[in-house]
Structure 1
Amino acid sequence: MRPKTAADDPILVEVPERLDTPRLVLLAPRAGFGPALNRAVLDAQEHLKPWMPWAHETPSVEQSEAIARRLHGEFVNREHLAYYLHERDADGRPGRLIGGAGLHTLDWTVRRFELGYWIGPGHAGRGLITEVVAALTRLAFQQLRARRLEIRCDASNVASRKVAERCGFLLEGQLRGDALDVKGQVCDTCIYGMVSIEELRESASTPR
């Protein structure tokens, strides 16, 4: 049996633990992030409740620390490439943690990944998530050699849909009655897709 290489073993794929956008620093999860993550989740909890099932539980600092450590392990094993969003200080250092994003549902055989994101309400509407999506899209296609990238969201999540469309993702379909929302009601799922870096609009990295 020939030895595995980065071409067929995802754990050998080089993935940066830091990404920079014009206004943010994205850092992979690590031990010690619990307190900052806990503050960000509590700040965003009411804002995220309509869309995120995990926002309906109020975590302790210890639970947030455990989440950060588990996500660190998943990042190392290339099972879930999560990043936490930090404001960029004037000197370029990461400041306050204000949200999260990443690539999940990773199919390394096809090189198909799904992109997700969240941010606190005090930072919404500023184009920050658009920056994040652009950075993760470049990571997926340029460094991870993705063949396909998806954004899936509840059809009624207008804000999330606008981000996908602003970044050049194509609405490929709406699955009727595909999932249950946070209230247990049947809802539709929109699937946005992108199959090459050329589809990423240059305006995606421009602050709005």
Structure 2
Amino acid sequence: MYIQVNDVIVLKLLQADNAESLFALTDASRPYLREWLPWVDGTVNVGNTREFIEFCEQQHASNNGFNTGIWYKGELAGCIGYHAINWGNKKTSIGYWLGQRYQGNGIMSSSCKKMVDYAFHELGLNRVEIRCGTGNAKSRAIPERLGFVNEGVIRQAEWIYDRFIDHVVYGMLKQDWSGGAGGHGGYETGN
């Protein structure tokens, strides 16, 4: 399965043979990613990354969402995916991260826009949520740029190594989504 975002960005399901390159990307951006992501210290070798990829494969197989690698100009640049899908309430949340050297190219905004569009038009969901640390300006810029509504702050929502951080909750409803205008082609289900 892959999703063509634009001429230079493709989202593909992570596979076992991506473990080494995904770990290398994580390792190269470790101090940068660690500021906001609680899993970085637990990712100490390629085996940990393989376990994550196996989890992603199980998630996809059980129809509970999926995580993809973000390929930018043919290089693995980060990850984006649905944490889980609540089919009863037709909603999901999106999580994402990008290697430090890939920042500033519009990669995440474009990828996130495509994932929101996919959630509404391909999966038939009604609500997409994004939660970000209140102090994580780069992450918060994504839903703000895409027109998500700031629905409030959850205090001390997450423990990051040595401190609690608050989360801003951003929400988008299908009826309010205009970011996916211009068609929703480019989705493939093959390998």
1:71 aligns with 2:56: yes
Between 1:184-193 and 1:140-149, the stretch displaced more is: 184-193
Amino acid across the alignment from 1:130: S
| Deviation sequence 1:114-168 (CA, Å, 0-9, x none) | 0111001111122110001111011000011111100011111111111110011
1:44 aligns with 2:29: yes
Alignment equivalent of 2:9, drawn from 21, 24, 27: 24
Alignment correspondent of 1:195: 173
Amino acid across the alignment from 2:173: V
Of structures 1 and 2, the larger Rg is shown by 1
Query: Which runs of no fewer than 5 residues in structure 1 stay unpaired?
Result: 1-16, 89-94, 204-208
Between 1:49-58 and 1:133-142, the stretch displaced more is: 49-58
Separation (CA, whole Å) in 2 of partners of 1:46 and 1:70: 24
With normalisation by structure 2, the TM-score equals 0.87
Query: Which runs of no fewer than 5 residues in structure 2 stay unpaired?
Result: 182-191
Separation (CA, whole Å) in 2 of partners of 1:56 and 1:63: 11
Amino acid across the alignment from 1:183: Y
**TM superposition shift of 1:197:** 6.0
Flag the 1:59–1:197 CA change in 2: closer, same or farther, 3 A.
Answer: farther
Flag the 1:64–1:202 CA change in 2: closer, same or farther, 3 A.
Answer: closer
With normalisation by structure 1, the TM-score equals 0.80
Flag the 1:56–1:110 CA change in 2: closer, same or farther, 3 A.
Answer: same
Flag the 1:194–1:43 CA change in 2: closer, same or farther, 3 A.
Answer: same
Identity %: 25
Separation (CA, whole Å) in 1 of partners of 2:56 and 2:148: 26
Separation (CA, whole Å) in 1 of partners of 2:43 and 2:52: 13
Amino acid across the alignment from 1:112: K
4+ aligned runs moved over 3 Å, structure 1: 200-203
Alignment correspondent of 1:116: 95
| Deviation sequence 1:10-45 (CA, Å, 0-9, x none) | xxxxxxx20111221110122211111111111221
Amino acid across the alignment from 1:63: N
Alignment equivalent of 1:56, drawn from 3, 27, 41: 41
Separation (CA, whole Å) in 2 of partners of 1:198 and 1:173: 18
| Deviation sequence 1:183-208 (CA, Å, 0-9, x none) | 342322100000016424379xxxxx
- Please tell me whether the aligned partners of residues 72 and 107 of structure 2 are also in contact (alpha carbons under 8 angstroms): no
Alignment correspondent of 1:140: 119
